[in-house]
Amino acid sequence: MKIAVFSTKSYDQEYFEKYNDKYNYSFSFYETALNVDTAKLTTGNDVVCVFVNDVVDKATIKVLASNGVKLIALRCAGYNNVDLEAAENHNIKVVRVPAYSPEAVAEHALALILTLNRKTHKAYNRVREGNFSLKNLIGFNLNTKTIGVIGTGKIGATFCKILNGFGCKIIAYDIAENEEVVAMGVEFLSLEEVCAQADIISLHCPLNKHTKHIVNKESIATMKDGVMIINTSRGALINTADTIEGLIKKKIGYLGIDVYEQEENLFFEDLSEHIIQDEQILRLMSFPNVLITSHQAYFTKEAMDQITTITLENIKAFENGNELINVVK
């Protein structure tokens, strides 16, 4: 089985090679992202393995099909970057990793909350410069605060479980109530009610036509003054321009994001010696109450183990003609 792996970093190659003894697959690792221009690299491969910022659109899939590719293996949970209709038309199966250490992402969301609130990143830099002042470092207790969780799948449910330990009041919105979450004492409300009541709003839903820009000018207007918004899911859940306006007007008191609407041109790369052309990310970086991490919420040893092994098992099931339990339709 020949597999072309796109958007490869050193750690991706390390983990695939670590587990390949059991499968004996032939990998071609490419640092470049998959798109219509780089799809020619898939010639002679049976499978392409892609990540969150690869562009697997109709034009790309047409090239993949002509090169003999039969399977698109996502090494992530989201699949909004894949044209599923085009894949089906070309008889290419799409598989994903639906769950990989939900604790990794949920814990990172909590880390963003605690860092923004208690300003530990600023305190760290101050002390290194010999500044031991506490001025402007005041935070608030999480205990008794109302946390709004939008999306209560595996990650959202794990996040609720963690926040329960802080003594928070947790309210949630989802298209269907998660009984496990209800059993924790979480109250499900409408999206409007969650936005209006929450001190902190954390996004844990997939990106689709219903959730794109779920945080926008209208929803921000209904939120509490000084609300904290956390996004560890997909960048386009947030309308960046509207969020910047909310920050300027001080409607949004804190913003913590691990994902960004235009991240495919930025994240996972070292741009420290480049002039960044994205004006919106530069504007966000200028706010003292904004914390940005570069899509690292998933990045733990446990998650990488699971992502790699589930991806390889998905490919093995396809190779053997077995049921694809993680197929995306």
Burial of 316 (0-12, 13-18, 19+ CB in 10 A): middle
- pLDDT (tens digit, 9 = 90+) per residue, 265-318? 899 999 999 999 999 999 999 999 999 999 999 999 999 999 999 999 999 999
Instruction: Examine residue 193 and state whether it is found in any structural domain, yes or no.
Output: yes
Residue 38 is part of a domain; what is its CATH number? 3.40.50.720
Q: Are residues 210 and 308 located together in one domain of the fold?
A: no
Q: Are residues 84 and 23 located together in one domain of the fold?
A: yes
Amino acid at 92: I
Instruction: Examine residue 325 and state whether it is found in any structural domain, yes or no.
Output: no
Per the structure, how many domains does the chain have?
A: 2
Q: Are residues 271 and 127 located together in one domain of the fold?
A: yes
Q: Are residues 257 and 112 located together in one domain of the fold?
A: yes
Angstrom distance (rounded) from CA 211 to CA 238? 9
Residue with tokens 């990310």: 281
Within 13 Å of residue 253, how many CA atoms lie on the same side as its CB?
Answer: 15
Q: Are residues 214 and 79 located together in one domain of the fold?
A: no
Confidence tier at 58 by pLDDT (50, 70, 90): very high
User: What's the pLDDT score for residue 284?
Assistant: 98
Instruction: Give the active site residues.
Output: 234, 263, 295
Count of other CB atoms within 10 angstroms of residue 325: 11
Instruction: Examine residue 147 and state whether it is found in any structural domain, yes or no.
Output: yes
Q: Are residues 313 and 177 located together in one domain of the fold?
A: no
Answer yes or no: is pLDDT of 100 > 90. Answer: no
pTM for the whole structure = 0.91
Q: Are residues 48 and 7 located together in one domain of the fold?
A: yes
User: What's the pLDDT score for residue 99?
Assistant: 83
User: What's the pLDDT score for residue 329?
Assistant: 86
Instruction: Examine residue 140 and state whether it is found in any structural domain, yes or no.
Output: yes
Domain that holds residue 156: 102-292
Task: Give the pLDDT mean for 45-63.
Answer: 97
Q: Rounded mean pLDDT of the chain?
A: 96
Q: Are residues 151 and 127 located together in one domain of the fold?
A: yes
8 A C-beta contact, residue 77 and residue 308: no
